[in-house]
Structure 1
């Protein structure tokens, strides 16, 4: 917000707001005026005076490339807004409502303004406990939504699944496998439905044995890739519902002496750093993970300020990025 108001880049605004000296005086003045007009208080000033504003950012998996991309967006938006972000893991006990009340109570007691939860499975007890504690909640890519009015941020997963499969169909593939996420994951289901819609639109009958489900992980991708490639009539292409899943599929192909994309085309989903570091570089559906983090933080602050939202669910656009892991099937080149 400060960067936009001053007409400068986010790194430049951050340098000024954090007291760095390597900024031109005219630029510094513009940023300071914008910050003052917006009521921005720097972290150093907050530490010297009133307690700073803080939100919790909760992950199931803290070390995945997906999580790091979302984290970068949340923390950048937090820096702009003068809000500290505390990173935690989701509680793993199953004590029900009492445990949920304890979690919400602890966050409220230490002054959290709200909580952002990423790709975790929420219980109704947790959602109701946050409500009772007066803690705003925003969920990113939820595995489930126990109540439709829970505020969430995601991507156009159905469109992404449709686009990925249409790309493979355009190359000439007709036996296309799907290495999906957990069956209960809403985002994974949307990708599967988009995949099936593309097949049906092309007149290709979806085959049940070509669609598998597992965790969004490398081991699950390896296991699903192995099962798909061991079929009597294996697929010539596989759409994987995450980048890490896709890398597991690529490894399953390698162990069978198959080359990607000569013998098997693979499409991933996310476009984390793994996609460009892979050999071959992955064709993927890119979802704007840092932007999803930024939107989640800004939405949470609006809720904390008592503002009403036009929609409880926001979807950011996905798009296809074609790299080296897809090609026409061998017989059609």
Structure 2
């Protein structure tokens, strides 16, 4: 368990005092406080009046919780710097809200593709008040489980478009793709390739759409051979960069849809004894610590992971209080971080 804070209990009369004042048992007074329907109208009236008269402070009622103040965070892995940023954001926001966080890591599906609901079953066993799910591919069965059990949940950067009504938080991925491509266009590049992540994921599709939109706005021809899929894998990105270099007319710049894949691109260029940015300009996406460690430091699009996670936690708290947000999708802005991996294309540089 990662302890992000502790539940705060307001001072005031106990439920036993309220029950005595209303002339009922403590379990009956508890039913009224928790909104249970199996209480006679006259009894409910007496308890409610006693609550108001004594100034009893009602704790937020989390209907799905056995232990109010406990929320779960599900991440794909604890080893990545990406998950670390998400955890920091959740922890900070949970501390402010007086909540505790349980963190679990691992795939949301089994290797055979069958839905895995065992982890979700554990939520009810430990009495979680709500759930945050980060970068997950939830199955129809898992969504059905969440709908059947009244536990509020919010998705952080979901892999696919969630069902209608599901609350999620993400980044402005399309605008990030536009910013990355416009930066390269502004340097004078026209032969700009893109190495995308998984073909069907929301974030990858939006980043590539932004890339295409920026090219179209600049009047630059889109080349299908310049679009490659690498599945967010560093080794595959290395292979895709080799393929781009082997084209009859290779690109002079490449927008890589994750910093992790950009490391693979760096390796492929080093194999060919090509220098960044002298021979190839590279832009990444995420602004993870790895972006600053590269040689040269990577120009990238900053995705506000910690802020996304904190926003998701605050939305989850609202849902735990029974509120519904105005919209189901919240997107936080991205911005380009200019470092040392981009420059004007060789053909536009002045000759000595």
Question: For the superposition of Structure 1 and Structure 2, which TM-score range results when normalised by the shorter chain?
Answer: 0.7 to 0.9
Larger Rg: 2
Q: Give the Cα–Cα distance (whole angstroms) in 2 for the partners of residues 209 and 184 of structure 1.
A: 19
- The match for 1:79 is 95
Going from structure 1 to structure 2, the CA distance change for 1:304 and 1:206 (only over 3 Å counts) comes to same
1:221 is aligned to 2:237: yes
Tell me which protein shows more helix as a share of its residues.
Answer: 1
Structure 1 equivalent of residue 295 of structure 2: 279
Pairwise CA distance, 1:88: 1.1
- With structure 1 as the length reference, what TM-score do the two structures score? 0.82
Confirm or deny: 8 A CA contact 1:168 1:237 kept in the other structure: yes
Q: For 1:59 and 1:238, how far apart are their aligned partners in 2?
A: 29
Q: Equivalent residue of 1:138, what SS? A: strand
Is this contact kept in 1: 2:176–2:336, CA < 8 A?
yes
- Residue 257 of structure 1 corresponds to which residue in structure 2? 273
Among 11, 34, 54, which residue is 2:70 paired with?
54
CA distance in 1, matches of 2:327, 2:288: 28
Poorly superposed stretches of 4+, deviation over 6 Å: none
Which residue matches 1:328?
344
Contact 1:122 1:145 in 2 (8 A): no
2: CA distance, partners of 1:109 / 1:133: 12
How far apart, CA to CA, are the structure 1 residues paired with 2:213 and 2:165?
Answer: 27
> Equivalent of 2:128, from 112, 115, 119?
112
2:163 partner SS = coil
What SS does the aligned partner of 2:90 have?
helix
2:165 and 2:78 mapped to 1: Cα distance? Answer: 27
Instruction: Return the TM-score normalized by structure 2.
Output: 0.77
RMSD: 2.3
Count of aligned pairs between the two proteins: 289
Residue by residue over 1:21-74, the C-alpha shift from the partner in whole angstroms, topping out at 9 and shown as x without a partner, is xxxxxxxxxxxxxxxxx999xxxxxxxxx9562211112232122111111101
What are the within-5 Å matches in structure 2 for residues 18-29 of structure 1?
A: none
Aligned residue number for residue 144 of structure 1: 160
Provide the C-alpha distance between the structure 1 equivalents of 2:193 and 2:95, rounded to a whole number of angstroms.
42
Match of 2:173 among 122, 145, 157: 157
2:52 is aligned to: none
The equivalent of 2:54 in structure 1 is: none
Which range moves more in the overlay, 251-260 or 102-111?
102-111
Give how far 1:149 is off.
2.0
- Whether the aligned pair in 2 keeps the contact of 1:226 and 1:252 (CA below 8 Å) is yes
Q: CA deviation at 1:91?
A: 3.6
Gap regions ≥5 residues in structure 2: 9-56, 60-65
Moved more, 267-276 or 57-66: 57-66
Q: Is the 8 A contact 1:55 1:113 kept in 2?
A: yes
**Separation of aligned partners in 1, 2:301 and 2:85:** 15
**Cα distance in 2, alignment partners of residues 317 and 297 from structure 1:** 18
> 2:13 corresponds to which residue?
none
After alignment, is 213-222 or 315-324 more displaced?
213-222
1:235-290 superposed Cα distances (whole Å, 9 cap, x missing partner): 10000111111111111111111000000000000111111111101111111111
Mark the runs of 5 or more structure 1 residues left unpaired by the alignment.
1-13, 18-37, 41-49
Instruction: For 1:286-301, list aligned pairs within 5 A.
Output: 286-301=302-317
